Amino acid sequence: MNYSVSEENYLKTIFHLQKKEGTVTTNELAAELKTRPASVTDMMKKLKTKKLLHYQPYQGFRLTADGSKVALGIIRRHRLWEYFLAEKLNFTWDEVHEVAEELEHVSNKKLIDKLDAYLGYPKNDPHGDPIPDASGKIEQGKKIRLQDAPLQIPCRVAGVRNQSPGMLELLAHKKIRIGTILEIRQKFDFDHSLEVKTGKQQIITISRQLAENLLVTHED
């Protein structure tokens, strides 16, 4: 019932990767965790014997129901701490991830549930990602890329797919944050750039690269 820091980091990363495609490969996971494929194989064998993973050699892997449950617990802790750091300790949203990466491994249930209550049961972390509740249930607001959002309909920035310093710098410059309301006025086929109206009625231009990495939900 208790997992090592290393096991937890593997489980969480597999959970995220398998959302994008059904199944995760050895090299993919090694790249994401900055480790070697041989190390991944070793860990996959271990997680399989613990029944947290479906795995047959050369076939890729995905979490079992038990594995997903463990992963959701880690993600809950990670995102609650991110919220705490941003909301209570005044960390900026690009600083919180690194610290939460360590705090997430303190797995005392009472601590996390009390933290949740103290924070007022927040629904989303500072990056707009949903926070699983105490039972592991996660609210999926259907996030789409700004690029794919309909014209003339206001939507709300709910997350980013990329947290590179360059991206964050650009967002800061354009004054776009989680929660910012955007409405696409026009799409230009030539360079796939967008002309967008902000909540403050300013007209700005958003490049294809940025529009691909901005996640929005329907405003309501």
Give the closest residue to 163 by CA, choosing from 73, 70, 90, 97: 97
Choice between 8 and 28, CB closer to its own copies: 8
How far is Cα 185 from Cα 196, in angstroms, rounded to an integer? 5
Q: Indicate which single residue of 102, 148, 195, 219 sits in contact with its own copies (rule: CB under 8 A).
A: 102
**Nearest approach, Cβ of residue 207 and Mn ion (Å):** 24
Q: How far from 137 is each of 86, 130, 179, CA to CA, in Å?
A: 23, 10, 23
Q: Does residue 87 belong to the site contacting its own copies (CB under 8 A)?
A: no
**Count of positions (residues) in the chain:** 220
Give the distance from CA 67 to its chain's centroid. 18
121 counts as binding its own copies under rule CB under 8 A = no
Residue 7 makes contact with its own copies by CB under 8 A: no
CA distance 51 to 64: 7
Residues 6+ apart with CB under 8 A from 172: none
Q: Is 138 in the site for its own copies (CB under 8 A)?
A: no
Q: Which of 2, 20, 58, 135 is close enough to bind DNA by CB under 7 A?
A: 58
β strands within the chain, DSSP E: 53-55, 61-63, 144-145, 154-160, 181-187, 194-198, 203-206, 214-218
Which one of 22-30, 98-106, 136-144, 184-192 is the stretch in contact with its own copies (CB under 8 A)?
98-106
Q: Give which of its own copies, DNA, Mn ion, none residue 147 binds (C-beta under 5 to 8 Å, depending on kind).
A: none
Q: Does 7 bind DNA (CB under 7 A)?
A: yes
Q: Which does 57 bind (CB under 5 to 8 A by kind): Mn ion, DNA, its own copies, none?
A: DNA
Q: Which of 30, 33, 115, 167 binds its own copies (CB under 8 A)?
A: 115
Task: List residues binding its own copies (CB under 8 A).
Answer: 85, 88-91, 95, 98-99, 102-103, 106, 108, 110-111, 114-115, 118
Task: List residues binding Mn ion (CB under 5 A).
Answer: 9, 82, 101, 125, 127, 129
